[in-house]
Amino acid sequence: MEVLAATEPQELKLSGAVVQPSPAPAINFRGYIAELDGLRAIGLCLVLIDHFWLEGFSYAIFQLGNMGWIAMDSFFVMSGLLITGILLDSREKPNYFSTYYARRSLRIFPLYYAVLLVWWAIGRFTNYGLDAANMLQNWGSPLWFVFYAGNLREAAVGFPPKLLGYAPLWSLQVEEQFYLLFPLAVFLLRRDHLRRLLITAIVLSPILRVAGYLWQPTNPFLQYVQLPTHCEGIALGALIAIRLRRGPWRISRPLLAAATAVLLAIAAAGSVLSTWGTRNQAWGSNWDRLAGYSVSSLGCACLVLWLVCYRGSAYTRWLRIPPFRYLGKISYGVYMLHPIALWIVIELSKKRIVHFHKDDWRYVAAATILSLAFAAISWHFFESPLLKLKDRISHNRGKIVVAEVPA
């Protein structure tokens, strides 16, 4: 396996002697990165706070959960980074398309379609079928989600389905549209052309959001749930993957850390200030719709790159602790299954089988514990066995690229 080392160190002359300085630390950007699992875990916690938050909870908790939209941008950056890396490394391999799509399908489709089936049954066979009828009449068919186009329908009608489990699926629609379309771009375009395409997408995305705002100022779904208007994070992650494969990359760690802190602070401040004194969702504010998604995506891209640069260091040790790594590993299951857990707790409360109310912390604790339990069962008995099949369809990743990072 070939390793592209850092640039050759220059000689230093001290008191007439020639001293060979130590090369800058080389960072390996390939393989499993435990810190990214930790970041997924942190982002997932924000999402759960947002989705499980109730009116009686403190305003501080509301604002913390209200930053879940920033977590979604970090997920997009990680998807762009990891998927683009896989595609670039396997571009010259035989069966490029069939191997990639088979692996993605085994990872995503089984749990996704199982959950869709569960929600169809809930809507059809509970509450006298009124929920399913209401969805068909006022929103549309659940078949939109079967074909990964539910986000397009949400943008068109301006609201998600009232049935609880469909609302969080928009992000999976965005990512799957990227997964389906981007392999073709990687295969057909040279890397410099691919880079220009991604930069163009980053520039056009906020322009399209402004145009959508001027067209329908009361419909934030036009900006939030569509790939063309919320693609900066995915495109930035893809650009990082492309740059890492060009060879050594001199990255100033202090500058990168400062950029990460400033950009995420601006995104968080915009989230709080745009909803101050209200109970509105920050992702639908004018700030986010016009500029916030770009700022957040840039901050999350810097954060992901910083984590990779400090991979394995003492600075990121807390992200590598087993609970975070495990939560990151089962995060897909938690995201897919937590609405089912919440629905069960709500139904048990309605029927007074449990004596929780919506302003009770036990209500949220029960939904959280049930979500984790469902995800753990899904991982060990459903997803993991399928992943063993996925691992048999492997690409030869080829050489490992490392980057030179000054201290």
pLDDT surpasses 50 at 335: yes
CA distance 110 to 150: 18
Hunting for tokens 């199982």 — which residue is that?
114
pLDDT surpasses 90 at 391: no
Hunting for tokens 């950009």 — which residue is that?
263
Q: Poorest-confidence range of 198-202, 288-292, 298-302?
A: 288-292
CA distance 88 to 96: 10
pLDDT of residue 251: 86
How does pLDDT run across 12-50, given as a tens digit for each residue? 333 444 444 444 455 556 678 999 999 999 999 999 998
pLDDT of residue 269: 95
pLDDT surpasses 90 at 290: yes
Average pLDDT over residues 68-76: 96
pLDDT of residue 55: 60
pLDDT of residue 276: 87
DSSP state of 16: T
* Closest to 172 (Cα-Cα) out of 294, 340, 332: 332
pLDDT of residue 394: 58
* Closest to 331 (Cα-Cα) out of 5, 42, 70: 42
* Closest to 236 (Cα-Cα) out of 76, 67, 83: 76
Tell me the pLDDT band of 393, cut-offs 50, 70 and 90: low
Tell me the pLDDT band of 59, cut-offs 50, 70 and 90: confident
pLDDT of residue 295: 97
Tell me the pLDDT band of 3, cut-offs 50, 70 and 90: very low
CA distance 383 to 103: 13
pLDDT of residue 355: 76
Start-to-end C-alpha separation, the chain: 27
pLDDT surpasses 90 at 63: no
Q: What is the DSSP string of 243-303?
A: HHTTS-----HHHHHHHHHHHHHHHHHHHHHHTTTS---GGGSHHIIIIIHHHHHHHHHHH
Tell me the pLDDT band of 219, cut-offs 50, 70 and 90: very high
How does pLDDT run across 225-275, given as a tens digit for each residue? 999 999 999 999 999 999 998 888 888 899 999 999 999 999 999 999 998
How does pLDDT run across 358-385, given as a tens digit for each residue? 667 888 899 999 999 999 999 999 999 9
Question: Percentage of the chain surpassing pLDDT 90?
Answer: 71
**b vs e for 285-320, b when ≥16 Cβ sit within 10 Å of the residue's Cβ?**
bebbbebbbbbbbbbbbbbbbbbbbbbeeeebeebb
* Closest to 403 (Cα-Cα) out of 221, 229, 197, 243: 243
Q: What is the number of structural domains in the chain?
A: 1
Selection from 12-26, 61-75, 146-160 with the highest mean pLDDT: 146-160
How does pLDDT run across 298-326, given as a tens digit for each residue? 999 999 999 999 998 999 999 999 999 99
Beta-strand relationship, 3-4 and 400-404: parallel
pLDDT of residue 24: 47
- Report yes or no: 251 and 405 within 8 Å, Cβ to Cβ: yes
pLDDT surpasses 60 at 130: yes
Paired strand residues for 401: 4
DSSP state of 358: T
Paired strand residues for 383: none
pLDDT of residue 14: 36
Average pLDDT over residues 186-208: 97
Selection from 277-291, 334-348, 385-399 with the highest mean pLDDT: 334-348
- Report yes or no: 72 and 47 within 8 Å, Cβ to Cβ: yes
Domain that holds residue 278: 3-404
Q: Poorest-confidence range of 51-65, 127-141, 370-384?
A: 51-65
Burial zone of 284 (CB within 10 Å; 0-12 exposed, 13-18 middle, 19+ buried): middle
pLDDT surpasses 60 at 400: no
Q: What is the DSSP string of 21-64?
A: PPPPPEEE-SS--HHHHHHHHHHHHHHHHHHH--TTS-HHHHHH
Mean pLDDT score of the chain = 87
Average pLDDT over residues 120-144: 95
Side-by-side strand order, sheet with 26-28 = 3-4, 400-404, 26-28
- Look at residue 19 and give its three-state secondary structure: strand
Q: What's the pTM value of the predicted model, to 2 decimals?
A: 0.89
- Look at residue 15 and give its three-state secondary structure: coil
Q: What is the DSSP string of 308-346?
A: HHTTTSGGGGGGGSHHHHHHHHTHHHHHHHHHHHHHHHH
